[in-house]
Structure 1
């Protein structure tokens, strides 16, 4: 079984979190897939960003705030 690191982006409202996860690769049809802990980590970040709680989401990775671009 091979493992590789990947950055996943979680977009919620006006925030985006950059979260490091590990993908597992094998010969199955489900490959590549996330570890269970990483899937929960992505859910935790999404739930923290939904009300805009950057402090709760920040231990998981970088947090970006999106702003509209004027035309």
Structure 2
């Protein structure tokens, strides 16, 4: 059996003018596909992306921080 451990990172999800910063647990092991998300973590990211797409900031904010992106004048 291969050893596994968790690593927590922040993953940005961008949709439209909003970005959600979501904490996810990445699984790491001796396999060639490390690090990777669990299926549950992938569903969370998909749910947040869909909430942002629909403008449901309350649901998206339940999972992490939400930021609004605005253009900077003159840039």
The runs of 5 or more residues in structure 2 that have no matched partner are none
After superposition, the CA RMSD in angstroms is: 0.7
The runs of 5 or more residues in structure 1 that have no matched partner are none
Partner of 2:9: 6
Partner of 1:17: 20
Post-superposition offset of 1:62: 0.3
Report how many residues are paired. Answer: 71
Within 1, Cα distance between the matches of 2:35 and 2:7? 9
- The TM-score with structure 1 as length reference comes to 0.95
